[in-house]
Structure 1
Amino acid sequence: MSVETSFESPVLVDVHGQVAVITLNRPARRNAIDAATCRALRAAIDRLEQDESLAVGILCGAGPVFCAGMDLLAFANGEAEEILFGPGHFAGLVSRERKRPLIAAVQGAALAGGFELALACDMIIAAPGSQFGLPEAKRGLIAGAGGAFRLGQRLPPAIAREMVLTGDPVPAERALQLGLINRIVPAEDVLKEALDLAGRIAANAPLSLACGLQLVNAAAVPDESRLWAENDRLLRGIIASADAQEGAAAFAQKRAPQWQGR
């Protein structure tokens, strides 16, 4: 194993043979994504895609939470454009085309953009206490990092609507029943299980992996560019709204929001 980034970095990259373990490293902020983390994660995915010695990536979070989504303080400070609409969209990852498989290793909460990051990965290994959800409606926002339409693709319509419109999370056991995650293992074994899965994938032919991933994704999403265009149109309107500002302020002040519908 080699460690390639400093401890102070918002994203760490550890290399285990042909596998890159990419760790969101803002535990004090629940690994929420600000502009600096977005740039660092984009660079980590660049390395995974460009380094011919690497075959598979694993995305995980430092501390007890996988990722709490966009950092609402960064949003309030004007970083939304870079975080949401830069190359690869949210965190530099969610709309990115990849030839290398990426596995999410989830412990704790994967909420809002954190769940959208997990959904952008190709497989998910989770600990028993993990939770998955899109609470954006509770904050005056929408799941604009692919979460809304990806749930619409992967779940029965009634279930997808319930998750998006209530904002309520589901536990790992329910996520497994719904087919959103691959398996649940004890918390202490999540990374080990992800590394084992990554190793079995990495043993296969690189071109087979790249082409197989492309075909599976093409079957699941016939025209993702159209979905992203509509996603961005709606998201830009939402983040400019008074309700979005109210949602962020209410969250920071730990009070109930006062919605205006504008």
Structure 2
Amino acid sequence: MSDIKISRNGSMLEIALDRPKKKNALTFAMYGALTEALKSANEDGGVRVVLLSGEGDSFCAGNDIGDFLSSPGLDPVTAPPMLFIDALIRFDKPLVAAVQGAAVGIGTTMLLHADLVYADDTAKFSVPFVGLGLVPEAASSVLLPRRIGQAAANDMLLRSSVVSAKRAVELGLVNEIAPTSEGLLAFARSRAEEVASKPPRAVRATKALAGANREELLACARREAEQFATSIASEEAREAFQAFMERRAPDFSRFS
């Protein structure tokens, strides 16, 4: 599909979010394409590493709000975003990400499932779910505190604070900042190629040993999905989304 670019570079599969005019905000169709790409890469013995990137000045601005508002409901099991999260958790091979500009919501939480994350100095990370009347997803309620500590995670989750690239390195969200923005993708690609050159069985086994318990993450993601589905239908979320569309500050004063 036109909003997701998939290319093969030797033993590396490259997946690029290609909706730059919308800052790569994810539609349900894009979620479906990403899910299929990850599943295919998992099953393809010739793929040793996947490199994920975004076209334009942003990595991913999160969910496409219009797409969410037009959906009849968000099934916590079968909705395209939930299937993508499931595929991320089940992905057995190294996942490398190159991040520039905005990484919002799922644009940040999907990175918690990447094994190596590289950014340029324009990258900014945020998970503003609460401000939209929503809850965390992609098992981030477990992974984010585990990765950066409870205090820093609370700052991001409850205050919707934005984390700079430099701070993201300090917190452990990002491995390295590329020397230049223009060279970010090449920099991340070179790191991915290093991983791809290693013994593949040992790499996969090491990822499994070093990673979080898959069943724990699947259970966490399911709990989050159930809460998310309830939240997105709430009056709080309706006010938040309406305010976003009207470009005004939301008013939550009437809620208790």
Aligned mates of 1:227, 1:191 — CA distance in 2: 32
Q: Does 1:249 align with 2:214?
A: no
Work out the percentage of aligned pairs sharing the same amino acid: 30
Deviates more, 1:59-68 or 1:116-125: 116-125
CA deviation map 1:85-136 (0-9, x unaligned) = 5477264566531111111100111011111122221111000110011112
Alignment of 1:129-208 (within 5 A): 129-185=122-178, 186-208=180-202
Aligned mates of 1:87, 1:251 — CA distance in 2: 23
Aligned mates of 2:122, 2:172 — CA distance in 1: 17
Aligned mates of 2:92, 2:125 — CA distance in 1: 26
Corresponding residue SS for 2:13: strand
Pair 1:132–1:93, CA change in 2 (3 A):
farther
Q: Does 1:128 align with 2:121?
A: yes
Pair 1:191–1:199, CA change in 2 (3 A):
same
Tell me which residue corresponds to 2:60: 67
Equivalent residue for 1:238, pick from 231, 246, 251: 231
Equivalent residue for 1:225, pick from 208, 211, 218: 218
C-alpha deviation, 1:76, in angstroms: 0.5
Q: Does 1:13 align with 2:17?
A: no
Corresponding residue SS for 1:181: coil
Whether the 8 Å CA contact 1:38–1:92 is kept in 2: the answer is no
Q: Which amino acid aligns with 1:261?
A: F
Unaligned runs of 5+ residues in structure 1 are 1-7
**TM-score, normalising length: structure 2:** 0.91
Corresponding residue SS for 1:243: helix
Corresponding residue SS for 2:59: coil
CA deviation map 1:132-178 (0-9, x unaligned) = 11112222112223333221111221111111100011100001011
Pair 1:93–1:121, CA change in 2 (3 A):
farther
Aligned mates of 1:138, 1:155 — CA distance in 2: 21
Pair 1:80–1:196, CA change in 2 (3 A):
farther
CA deviation map 1:63-101 (0-9, x unaligned) = 101001111000110166279854772645665311111
Unaligned runs of 5+ residues in structure 2 are none
- CA-atom RMSD in angstroms: 2.2
Corresponding residue SS for 2:167: helix
Aligned mates of 2:87, 2:33 — CA distance in 1: 14
**TM-score, normalising length: structure 1:** 0.89
Corresponding residue SS for 1:251: helix
Structure ranking higher on relative contact order (CA contacts 8 Å, 6+ apart) = 2
